[in-house]
Amino acid sequence: MKPFFLVALILAILAFGAADAVQFKAFNNAKGTAGGNRFDSQIGISYTTQVMSTSSNFIWKTLNQKPADRRNHVYSVMLAVEPVDGVAYESNNVIHISASYIANYSGDLKTEFTGIIYHEMTHVWQSNGQGGLPEGIADYMRLKAGYARSDWVKPGQGNYWYQGYDVTARFLDYCNGLKNGFVAQLNAKIKDGYYEDVFVQLLGKTVDQLWSDYKAKYGN
């Protein structure tokens, strides 16, 4: 191979890698506060960006979003620990985590913080949906990664499948047990919005039938 073509090939490979790469950045915007100080001492920036990267790879694999053209075209994700209400939220590829929540959390902070990142990173990469489905998929990802909270509902509990968060996550886990890869296919199909017959298409039953089967399996 001639040197000119070899150099061109290397540059093309590097360009492809750069286009596919995602930058993960984290900031502590609550320095000097109880939450900001606890973040620095027990978690830190380096660990945070590492989990942002590893969680993204886990999500891409679980949602069948490799190669990169199968997922949202996002090349930079930021996370900020700051004085905000609640626990955390994601908006425009920026994850905001409450410094006061970090300060007051009484359990294993590092495990909880990691679980929060898996949940919020899912919002960056998942398709849009309606009702509690997006939050359910985000908690499903946290569940499958091994970071479910001890106070989550048990399998079979909950009032309705689209209740969101842990309730929907448990139900989706049941559905994925019926057909491996179901959640990835569900996420792909709701890219342009949720529609109920997607459950019939993928599992041969309506979502209400599946919910009844799920409740019956666990004696609820």
**Residue 67 lies in domain:** 22-125
Do 151 and 176 belong to one domain? yes
Give residue 11's pLDDT. Answer: 45
Asked whether the beta carbons of 160 and 211 are under 8 A apart, the reply is yes
Domain total for the chain?
A: 2
169's CB contacts (< 8 A; 6+ apart) are 136, 137, 138, 139, 140, 142, 143, 148, 152
pLDDT in tens, 114-169: 999 999 999 999 987 667 899 999 999 999 999 999 999 999 999 999 999 999 99
Domain assignment present for residue 37? The answer is: yes
**Domain check: are 41 and 62 in the same one?**
yes
Mean pLDDT of the chain: 90
Tell me whether residue 197 is in a domain.
yes
Which pLDDT score is estimated for 10? 47
- Per-residue pLDDT at 202: 96
What is the predicted pLDDT for the residue at 16? 38
Q: What is the pLDDT, as a whole number, of residue 141?
A: 98
pLDDT in tens, 73-116: 999 999 999 999 999 999 999 999 999 999 999 999 999 999 99
In a domain, 70, yes or no: yes
Residue with more model confidence, 53 or 17: 53
Residues forming a β-bridge with 169: none
Is residue 11 one of the residues assigned to a domain?
no
Same domain assignment for residues 153 and 86: no
- Looking at the structure, do residues 32 and 80 belong to the same domain, yes or no? yes
Average pLDDT over residues 30-53: 98
pLDDT of residue 129: 67
Q: How far apart are CA 129 and CA 173, in angstroms?
A: 17
Q: 38 and 104, same structural domain?
A: yes
pLDDT score at 130: 65
| Same domain flag for 92 and 160 | no
- Judgement on whether residues 98 and 166 belong to the same structural domain of the protein: no
Q: What is the DSSP string of the chain?
A: --HHHHHHHHHHHHHHHHHH--EEEEEETTTTSHHHHHHHHHT-HHHHHHHHHHHHHHHHHHTT--SGGGS----EEEEEEES-SSSEEEETTEEEEEHHHHHH--S-HHHHHHHHHHHHHHHHHSPP-STTHHHHHHHHHHHHTT---TTSPPTT-SS-GGG-HHHHHHHHHHHHHHSTTHHHHHHHHTTT---TTHHHHHHSS-HHHHHHHHHHHTT-
Within this chain, do residues 30 and 110 fall inside the same structural domain, yes or no? yes
Residue 17 domain flag: no
pLDDT band of 9, cuts 50, 70, 90 = very low
- Percentage of residues of the chain with pLDDT beyond 70: 90
Tokens found for residue 100: 């006061």
